[in-house]
Structure 1
Amino acid sequence: MAKPAFDNQKYLELQSTYIKERIAAFDNKLYLEFGGKLFDDEHAARVLPGFKPDSKLKMLLKLKEQAEIIIAINAADIAKNKLRGDLGITYDVEVLRLIDAFRSVGLYVGSVVITQYENQSAALKFRTLLQKQGIKSYVHYKIAGYPNDVQKIVSDAGYGKNEYIVTQRPLVIVTAPGPGSGKMATCLSQLYQEFRQGVKAGYAKFETFPVWNLPLKHPVNLAYEAATVDLNDVNMIDPLHLEAYGKTAVNYNRDVEIFPVLKAIMERISGNCPYKSPTDMGVNQAGFCINDDELCRKAGRDEIIRRYYQTAEAVMRGNLAPESLAKIKLLLSQAGASTADRKVVQAALDKAETAKTNAMAIELADGTVVCGRRTSLLDAPAACLLNALKALGNIADEIPLISPQVIEPVAELKTGCLGNNNPMLHVDEVLLALAISAASNKVSRQALQLLPQLRNTEAHSTVIPGAMDRNILHKLGINVTNEAQFRTKKLYH
């Protein structure tokens, strides 16, 4: 595990205090557009070693008595069953998951707003579902000429046509299942409605990346560009901030491009805009909590390399244009990184060449690299996982971690009752078999107890892992990359 380079406790205190100050700067009513992931922000944890994946959630818990949450979802995304790629669930299902997750930690979810609403049948059906579950919902309509026709937007025919979302608390967090859900439009619509009722509410934006007070080409900021290559986000010096204050701050193209329009909308709503630049709108304090810049630079370079392999696979599958991979290569060059820096890549490729089959390599926390190959009974990720546990526990290679009395009936079940073509076990099946063996075998029990030590290790596969293998390795906290090559020549994967 990388040494902490980020002071997480300082972040929790500094960030929550700064948001309280921003609430007080307005009429004790702040609409906070929340970008990125509130739960499981693993990207931030990887590029800022010491940042906890649930840091933003814990920060909000410090404000939970003042905060309520609105979840925005685009009606068009409901209609087309848009998927959240990392979880494989549709955006409407993700809204329900988020509500459960927020409630489970004591955060108050006030309502759901369906944006870009045009009486879509799927959106109506979803609203009915919310009503049956006792969840308040509102609709915001599509506005012709948005976002440039400011006069129409800030009028009874624009924001005034939207349903006013009733809120109860000073801090209103507007979040969403993914990008393009209408978070900013929801915040500004509410500002318009609040001002009509005499409440001088405010708007701010909370996004961790790019880190505004790190250099433009800092690997942590370049890693953000790599992570958003599908959105074609580009980091840039905020020209408006530089002009207003004579100070350099980093932002990204979409915020810079939309700011003049946003400023005009806010001026029309309230008579003035409290911000001189898009950076002013932000409340992110993460950059002040870095205590080892060099470690963060290395972590940023490592992340860009991982994103290179993810992008290569997406391009191969036809999910991204080849230009995306060219951009990642440019980011690698700008960060001074290379795929050769990732030790597990060459180790896995060498193992595959020697064994003449698929292989995987895992780099443990102490730098030891362990390999595994596909066999008649184990797929490469499963074999590599078992070898890594043996290395962690100093268990001799010839000692089996799983009893043959356990493997044999599982293999027979797969080929017999379940109709699989071969008895080869995958990662999930190996872990279940290991757990069963642990009941009667102390070595198996020892290996099972070592699984947490695999968190934050690095791995590389010479082929694309199966969906279940990838999911289990992710749950174990292993950062897996792979070559953009299918396991077989079959057309269906």
Structure 2
Amino acid sequence: MKKIGFDPQKYIDEQSKFILERVNDYDKLYLEFGGKLIGDKHAMRVLPGFDEDAKIKLLQKLRDKAEILMCVYAGDIERNKIRGDYGITYDKDILRQIDEFRGYGLEVNSVVITRYSGQPSTKLFINKLERRDIKVYKHAAIEDYPSNIDKIVSDEGFGKNPYIPTTKPIVVVTAPGPGSGKLATCLNQLYHESHQGREAGYSKFETFPVWNVPLKHPLNIAYEAATVDLKDVNMIDSFHLDYYDKLAVNYNRDVETFPVIKRMIEKITGKETVYHSPTDMGVNRVGFGITDDDAITEASKQEIIRRCFATECDFKKGLLDEDALNRIKLIMEEVELKKEDRLAVTPARDYALRLKAQNNISDMMPAVIALELNDGRIVTGRTSDLMDPCAAAILNAIKTLANISDDILLLSPVILQTIQDMKRNELHDKMTALTANEVLIALSISAVTNPTAQLAYEKISELTDVQAHSTVMLNDYDEQTLRKLGMDITCDPVYPSDNLYYI
């Protein structure tokens, strides 16, 4: 059973109080949100007990005082940059997030296209937004940003980009991912607010690294593991240490850019800033929600292992360079972790090796998935002509949870064969093995008339937080299905076949 180590309500209460205290210092506060506002799976994994939607619920609590600006870099739209956890492009994620924000009763002011220079795909995206009555503002790249402060803070810099009218005292600036121009948008607004005689401030809400947790705590190292592609490195905030004589943890980009940002804000406002360190600029209180350090430590170590597998798979797919691969290996050594410390790994590999020996397979590794259930039991599933390993493992898991004998068939072979025939003959699908999604739909239909299937169907919710490992890399479709069920999947960096497209 997963140990809880975090109090989400204490966190929300502490965080909202701190933000409101910061707002009181200004006519308006521009709050740059790093990380994910909705569905923060990383925080949920390393802080067991954390509500993955805690930040959006926090904003919902402040909705009478807050509105949202969304930023996206035009270059990310042009190259169809993918948000990995949802498998969708950044432009589609903007649309998804707007729907989500509206569902929470939050006002989305507009979308800001940053570093825009007339890119064709971005133009089409702007048209799509404007024809759905969503305001769009275009900010051009500023030459020599952020080094040439005199030029940036002038009519030739921020002055060239339009001001975005806002009405609430808190303006949340968010984006689909890093490098989207959130900071520049905040500073651009501060420039225009100052010219209009209003006192506006800037703060940053970045959950990780956790500033009041030790530098080498696995919780903070897990953040480095999550950002190996960005080459982020945690470090002691030297500015905080010099001014307050207190240790605080930040990361290299914030520490390196702090002097420039500080001078820029001072030039915009015409007075000395109240911030003496990048930690001062932050409003993150997540560390105060920790209730069990041992639980956090263990969860963070498991996340590091999970990130190691993910990095190796992305390297195999050509999505990451060798520097990222070497970095994650060093992190694993630093925390003295092995991949086999993830409990589902060895059973999956052992079963695959047995199948390989039994069937005299010499080259490809058999596709096997092992699931570590929440009660500690291990269940496996393998690929077959009828089902892929995800479908087999899930069926075996819910039968185990429902105490249904392995000999009992939950689904009629006739029904499964009919679905498979339709895929092959009517849909002309080259991959006819039934997927987890297809088998779950078949199970839900069978549950209407079959009491045993109904018993198994009722156990699907218990797959949440189940840990899974596959001996081969899964396709995006299967990974998304497992994520929707709330399962955490890792994969060995092995292709399931020699096919280049159909995997």
> TM range, normalised to the smaller chain?
over 0.9
Tell me whether 1:56 sits opposite 2:65 in the alignment: no
| Cα drift, residue 339 of structure 1 | 1.1
Aligned to 2:191: 192
Deviates more, 1:349-358 or 1:194-203: 349-358
1:334 deviation in Å? 2.2
**Cα distance, 1:183–1:431 mapped onto 2, change above 3 Å:** same
In structure 2, the residue corresponding to 1:416 is in which secondary structure?
helix
Per-residue CA distance 1:154-197 (angstroms, 9 max, x = gap): 11111111101100000000001211111000001111111111
Distance 2:197 2:147 in 1: 26
Matched residue, 1:274: 274
**Equivalent residue of 1:230, what SS?**
coil
Tell me what 1:126 maps to: 125
Indicate whether 1:395 and 2:404 are aligned. yes
Contact 1:218 1:335 in 2 (8 A): no
Amino acid at match of 1:260: P
The match for 2:487 among 478, 487, 490 is 478
3-state SS of 2:139 partner: strand
Decide whether the 8 Å contact of 2:240 with 2:247 is kept in 1.
yes
- Alpha-carbon deviation of 1:283? 0.3
* Code of the aligned partner of 1:60: L
Post-superposition CA distance 1:366-390 (Å, at most 9, x none): 1111111222312222111111111
The 1-side partners of 2:449 and 2:120 are apart by: 56
CA contact (8 A) 2:87 2:476 kept: no
Partners of 1:359 and 1:92 in 2: CA distance = 35
1:123 and 1:482 map into 2 onto residues whose CA distance is 35
Please list, as runs of the form range in 1=range in 2, the aligned pairs for 1:181-260 lying within 5 A after superposition.
181-260=180-259
Q: Could you tell me how far apart the structure 2 residues matched to 1:251 and 1:272 are?
A: 22
Inter-partner Cα distance in structure 1 for 2:382 and 2:77: 42
1:74 corresponds in structure 2 to 73
Query: For the Cα contact (< 8 Å) 1:345–1:361, is it kept in 2?
Result: yes
Letter in 1 for 2:277: S
Give SS of 1:117's match: coil
CA offsets per residue over residues 354-375 of structure 1, 9 Å max, x none? 1223211000011111111222
Q: How many angstroms apart in 1 are the aligned matches of 2:432 and 2:113?
A: 48
What secondary structure does 1:198 align onto? Answer: coil
Deviation at residue 421 of structure 1 after TM alignment:
4.8
Paired with 2:32 and 2:430, the residues of 1 have a C-alpha distance of: 50
- Is 1:301 paired with 2:310? no
In structure 1, distance between residues paired with 2:492 and 2:76? 31
Provide closer, same or farther for how the CA distance between residues 406 and 375 of structure 1 changes in structure 2, counting only shifts above 3 A: same
**Mapping 1:420-431, distance limit 5 Å:** 420-421=429-430, 423-431=432-440
Counterpart of 1:490 in 2: which secondary structure? coil
Where do 1:286-435 residues align within 5 Å?
Answer: 286-356=286-356, 357-421=366-430, 423-435=432-444
Alpha-carbon shift at residue 338 of structure 1 (Å): 1.8
**Cα offset, 1:434, TM superposition:** 1.1
Cross-structure match for 1:5: 5
Name the aligned partner's letter for residue 72 of structure 2: I
Per the alignment, residue 97 of structure 2 pairs with 98
Greater shift, 424-433 or 88-97, is seen at 88-97
Partner of 1:439: 448
Q: Separation in 2 of the partners of 1:120 and 1:352?
A: 48
Percent sequence identity is 51
Task: Report the 3-state secondary structure (helix = DSSP H, G, I; strand = E; otherwise coil) of the residue aligned with 2:17.
Answer: helix
Separation in 2, partners of 1:121, 1:470: 32
Q: Distance in 2 between matches of 1:470 and 1:131?
A: 33
Q: Secondary structure at the match of 1:375?
A: coil
Counterpart in the other structure of 1:285: 285
The one-letter code matched in structure 2 to 1:244 is Y
Q: Which moved more, 1:266-275 or 1:204-213?
A: 266-275
In structure 2, distance between residues paired with 1:160 and 1:387: 62
Measured in 2, the distance between the counterparts of 1:89 and 1:372 equals: 28
2-side partners of 1:14 and 1:33: how far apart?
Answer: 18
Report the count of equivalent residues.
492
Structure 2 counterpart of 1:152: 151
2:497 corresponds to? 488
CA shift for structure 1 position 57: 0.7
Whole-Å separation in 2 of the counterparts to 1:162 and 1:482: 45
Secondary structure of 1:3's aligned partner: coil
- Give 1:456's aligned residue: 465
Q: What is the Cα-based RMSD across aligned positions, in Å?
A: 1.4
Moved more, 94-103 or 159-168: 94-103
Corresponding letter in the other structure for 1:2: K
TM superposition shift of 1:412: 1.9
| TM-score with structure 1 setting the length | 0.97
Moved more, 374-383 or 150-159: 374-383
State the partner residue of 1:24: 24
Give how far 1:125 is off. 3.4
- Specify whether residues 197 and 344 from structure 1 end up closer, same or farther in structure 2 by C-alpha distance, changes over 3 A only: same
SS of the residue aligned with 1:472? helix
- In structure 1, runs of 5+ residues without a counterpart are none
**CA 1:358 to 1:76, structure 2 compared with 1: closer, same or farther past 3 Å?**
closer
Letter in 2 for 1:195: S
- Name 2:363's counterpart in structure 1: none
* Residue ranges of structure 2 left out of the alignment (5+ in a row): 357-365
Distance 2:68 2:367 in 1: 47
Cα distance, 1:83 vs structure 2: 2.5
TM-aligned CA deviation for residue 422 of structure 1: 6.3
Higher alpha-carbon deviation: 423-432 or 18-27: 423-432
Matched AA of 2:41: E
